[in-house]
Chains A and B, each alone.
Chain A
Amino acid sequence: MIKKLAGSIREFKLPTIITILFMVGEVVIECLIPFITANLVNRIKAGDDIKNVIVTGVILVIMAILSLTCGGVAGYTSAKASAGFARNLRHDIFSRIQTYSFTNIDKFSTSSLVTRLTTDISNTQMAYMMVIRTAVRSPLMFIFAIIMAFIMGGSLAMTFVVVVPVLVFGLLMISRHAMPAFRRVFKKYDKLNESIEENVRAMRVVKGFSREDHEKEKFSRAADDICGDFTKAERIVAFNTPIMQFCMYFNMVFVLIVGSKLTIEHMGQVIDIGQISAMLTYGMQILMSLMMVSMIYVMLTMSSESMKRICQVLDEVPTLHNPENPVTSVADGSVSFTDVDFKYFEKAERNALDNININIKSGMTVGIIGGTGVGKSSLVQLILRLYDVSAGSIKVGGVDVRDYDIETLRSSVAMVLQKNLLFSGTIKENLRWGNENATDEEIIEACKLAQAHDFIKTFPEGYDTYIEQGGTNVSGGQKQRLCIARALLKKPKILILDDSTSAVDTKTDALIRRGFKEYIPETTKIIIAQRISSVEDADLIIVMDGGRITHSGTHEELLKSSDIYSEIHQQQTKGGDEE
């Protein structure tokens, strides 16, 4: 996991190394400062010449400035390294997602991907900064301080033989108990917040059924439960400070008693007063650095969840690949399905599509009709190779879709998705998704064909009208027509409309279809619709039910042969007959 993530450091290795080097510098100076301070104090005590005092003072000031410089530089480079690492990581994840197939995309929800690209990366960034600054600094500080303590304190340093194990053991016990408790509690806490969110969203239902009291009760039960767990976990962590204080105080008392005894008995021969002072300072440094190490440990375990989630994205293997010697041109718009079976997941019990056989000649108009969830969308998505078939084969222009260069195939087959989407940007920008180099004339032509030109013209800004995120400022029917125009700009050999005119009125719908017939006769058109009127003039209509094709034929043929078809037809025309 670490290795995988470290791959994203790249050009920020240098600032990382500089950070570590300057951090070492800072630690060295910081450990020397008490040494020289003791010297300064001794000089003043001894009533040394003021000149010498000042010289030592100047040395100390220089050291402080040096330490400041080291700390400052390390702070600067560590910010650069960690922000850069985060940038690379974001870039890598985003690029990785771009290689995903539909199967991969289906595995992650939008919000989970957004969290990974924002919060999770920010956590990792913080952890990284902490590691390169403190994770080097604290252990080093610990080692230096221990060494200095033994050099200066001699036998007095024996106190650390007692204090350090106590602190290490205490901190270890605390984190070992607290970490799992916190993890459990966080999970519950997330759930609690989810249920609040659920409640906020469903407020109309809650109020509509007068269930306020019921919800309050449910909530306070869940909240009390969490409160108990939280308190337990927090109370374990709360032992940190007392243990730390104990060690600190023990150290002081030990040094004072033993130190004074040794000093006085040996008349300052073995240990002198300066050493006692130094021991107290180093003791603090040792304990503080241990404390920091335990904090880093906690922080790393906390952010390891984030890292794990990031790795999941990076580890996801795209399920679709370009073939080795891809075909780079599509001959015509013919489509044929041969014994196609398809399921979304290998482990799925039932096939989404079962034994599909179709033959569509180039330039034909094909309608597909059937209830929700019978496999209409699945069927057409296979033509663009958005998914791979589980069995059988699909040929476009006489070549198996798996033999095409994916981009070639998808540029020749345009599809308007059922969940169509416009992006924030002007209408023109959105349409140019279909063809980046489209001229204004081409854009207008496509819009005329999609019956979008007229309403675009009524906007004050015309084609430069800004579309809000999710296309909220145009109506559903307008959105659908813009999406059709966008697909038309690809000048595709095959055009697929997946329930793309449901919000368009029937008159306009008919106009669009007539336009298709007149202006793009050579393009194969596959139209999925709920309305019979959208497909009744097609060359071939396919009726689907339960993942199978039950019937196919023309409108008249199906009225006779297919119960489902005639049932839908009857249902939709019942009222109209009365006129």
Chain B
Amino acid sequence: MKQPMNGGPGGKRPMGPPRKMNFGTLKRVIKLLFSYYPVLMPLTLLCIIFSAGVSAIPAIFQQQIIADIEIWYKTGDWEAASKVIIPKVLILVGIYVIAIIAITLQTQLMAYITQGFLNKLRCAMFEKMQNLPIKYFDTHKHGDIMSHYTNDIDTIRQLISQALPSVLQTSIIVVVVMCIMLSFSFWMTLIVLLGVVLMFTVSKTIGGGSAKYFVRQQKALGKTEGFVQEMMNGQKVVKVFCHEEKCKADFDTINDQLFEDSFRANAYANCLGPIVMNIGNILYVVIATVGGILLLSNVPNLSFRTLLAGGFGILTIDIVIPFLNMTKQFTSNVNQFSQQINHVAMALAGAERIFEMMDTEKEEDKGYVTLVNCTVDENGNIHESDTHTGTWAWKHPHTADGSVTYTLLRGHVVLDDVDFGYTEDKTVLHNITLYAEPGQKVAFVGATGAGKTTITNLINRFYDIADGKIRYDGININKIKKSDLRRSLGLVLQETNLFTGTVMDNIRYGNLGATDEECIKAALLAGADDFIRRLPEGYNTVLSGNGANLSQGQRQLISIARAAVADPPVMILDEATSSIDTRTEAIVSKGMDALMHGRTVFVIAHRLSTVRNSDVIMVLDHGHIIERGSHDDLIAQKGKYYQLYTGAFELE
């Protein structure tokens, strides 16, 4: 966000095609502004109106003073003249002083409000984002989500700090000046208005051409970015195949196209300024000449003033000269207004995108069964406890009679004839039925897209299905509060996703209350302790950029430790060891075994050696479980699993 560079060729959304103004969005932005700053906003508004009004007035005073000089200079009597002129100048000074105070107050307030508003908006967006369902993130590109925080917020910044105040200011000035003009002469005002219409037409035509090429430039820029991205990624392949020259030639073709479009877009935009400005100049001349002719031909003048006086007046030099100055002020403000209104339209498109995200339905959670610490007495009765006991139970309040029952957390998961599709027209899971007893290891094997990850998505309720199909310790998982459900499920994914922070912080993410010792113990269990201690700062080594300074395998070990410290009764390992080479895996496997001991574990693995010792292996194909059983059973069946295992079949 480089502030002064607005709408350059590199800006993600420069002078796009003229958009339709969405007043609903505008209203919402303004409403939000006032609700965040109920006192300061009206105050700022007042300042804007005042300073706008004030900047329209001095022209009149100036003209009067000059007119006075004209009368007095022939007398050469400053003493007498000053009695008339000085008070007027003093009024002018007074207005100026107030104007400067107003503008200072306005700009300071604006700076404060703009940043404060953006901050509140950002936090509201982030908060909303945390509450969105996983589906949102699976169906929106990350880059698009990010651009709400960067580009769209930036356009709103411009909207609030520049475009809106300026639109307000210029429209006030235009109205004030227009009134003054009308009070001078109707005829001449008419000419000015005709000129303004001409200005609008020209700028619309040229602006349209410019917009067309800016869209093309944007496309060419996207193409360039895509090509560069691909080539920079494959730079090593390019080297190995000595493909440098060919690469350069391809790039030049794309580069030339970008040049053409960028050139035309900017050429149009650059010409617009001088053209509009000089139409203003010509209009001035036309007014002057017409004024001169009207003066000489003694055309009766019609204006508010003459109407008040009851009819026509005479057009005099005192009317024509101030009018000329007002013409300038009028055209330049109309100009500014038309430019800023374009910005407003653009910013509203950004605001609309933000609101779209804010209006997305949040993750629904009607669960009321919660996870509590408990103690079990000798009779097997469960008692809720406030302190950490190491034993957990589901607290299940019954709405019917107001009673509360407790179920011990054991990790018993049942799927009963589950069908599921991410979209209505495409079912990805068919009739999935499975039982996982506490402490069992259940493995899923199958090609990419067979539905392995989908099953785990359903267990931790990243996606919801119809009631009663999945039960956890006998409880319908739709009744369990999502955060409590997930707290009882440890998740290790192939994509490790570490956070910026120390290694220790990253492990502790699994259980914010864990002590350093507990974190280290978890790392030991995961087999991560050894390499962590060899990092420059050990556990205090700061990871950045998703742990870019670690190997993929090391990152996986840390994420295993992270799940271990949470100490959940159920674990989901989704390709958790895919990037650890077989030799290291053999070393880690002891830790993994210790980690899995006594827990219900769902394992998804590409490598069959990882799943071999599972209690049950499910072979999935296109959403169906086609084979199930232990390793030995499946080998004996000589089915798909056997083929996979003997290498006669290729996964992925």
Contact = CB atoms under 8 A, between A and B. Distances in A.
Contacts of B221: 118, 122
A227 B150 contact: no
B520 interface: no
Point out which of B8, B76, B104, B226 has the most chain A C-beta atoms below 10 A from its C-beta.
Answer: B8
Contact of B321 (A45, A53, A101, A268): A45
A479 to B, nearest CB: 9
A227 B146 contact: no
A333 interface: no
Contacts of A200: 129, 137, 142, 145-146
A200 B271 CA distance: 43
Interface stretch (A74-82, A392-400, A513-521): A74-82
Interface in B514-554: 545-546, 551, 553
B598 to A, nearest CB: 20
Contact of A91 (B239, B246, B251): B251
For the complex, would chain B's binding face be called helix, strand, loop or mixed by DSSP majority? helix
A72 B271 contact: yes
Given A410-B239, A572-B609, A61 B69 contact: no
Nearest to A372: B581
Interface in A183-228: 186, 189, 193-216, 219-220, 223-224, 226-227
A264 B8 CA distance: 51
Interface stretch (B171-179, B342-350, B394-402, B582-590): B582-590
B118 A276 contact: no
A41 B1 contact: no
B1 A189 contact: yes
Nearest to A81: B263
Given A234-B111, A302-B2, A372 B584 contact: yes
The 5 closest A-B CB pairs, nearest first, are A122-B10, A71-B274, A75-B270, A506-B647, A202-B497
B364 interface: no
A48 to B, nearest CB: 8
Contacts of B234: 421, 423
B5 A299 contact: yes
Interface stretch (A145-153, A246-254, A547-555): A246-254
Contacts of B8: 122-123, 125-126
Contacts of B40: none
A184 B9 CA distance: 25
B285 A421 contact: no
B58 A508 contact: no
Given A79-B265, A216-B123, A234-B111, 19 more contacts: A44-B321, A71-B277, A95-B248, A100-B235, A102-B236, A105-B239, A117-B224, A129-B270, A205-B497, A208-B489, A208-B491, A223-B126, A238-B107, A238-B111, A249-B100, A252-B92, A266-B76, A419-B236, A530-B582
Contacts of B410: none
A1 interface: no
Nearest to A281: B328
A476 interface: yes
Nearest to A579: B635
Contacts of B275: 68, 71-72
What interface size band does chain B fall in? 35 or more
A196 to B, nearest CB: 5
Contacts of B484: 210
Interface in B86-131: 86, 89, 92-93, 96, 99-100, 103-104, 107-108, 110-112, 114-116, 118-119, 122-123, 126-127, 129-131
A371 B486 contact: no
Given A110-B232, A209-B509, A260-B65, A182 B10 contact: no
B23 interface: no
B299 interface: no
A50 interface: yes
Contacts of B559: 205
Nearest to A122: B10
Interface in B129-176: 129-131, 134, 137, 142, 145-146, 149-150, 161
Contacts of A79: 262-267, 269-270
A235 interface: yes
Point out which of A209, A256, A407 has the most chain B C-beta atoms below 10 A from its C-beta.
Answer: A209
12 contacts: A26-B274, A110-B233, A117-B224, A125-B9, A125-B10, A193-B146, A239-B104, A240-B107, A245-B103, A264-B76, A533-B647, A567-B586
Contacts of B89: 253, 256-257
Interface stretch (B289-297, B372-380, B424-432, B615-623): B289-297
B483 interface: yes
B581 A75 contact: no
B73 A242 contact: no
A363 interface: no
A475 B447 CA distance: 10
Contacts of B499: 198, 202
A402 interface: no
A105 B235 contact: yes
Nearest to A49: B296
Given A40-B288, A197-B142, A571-B586, A76 B271 contact: yes
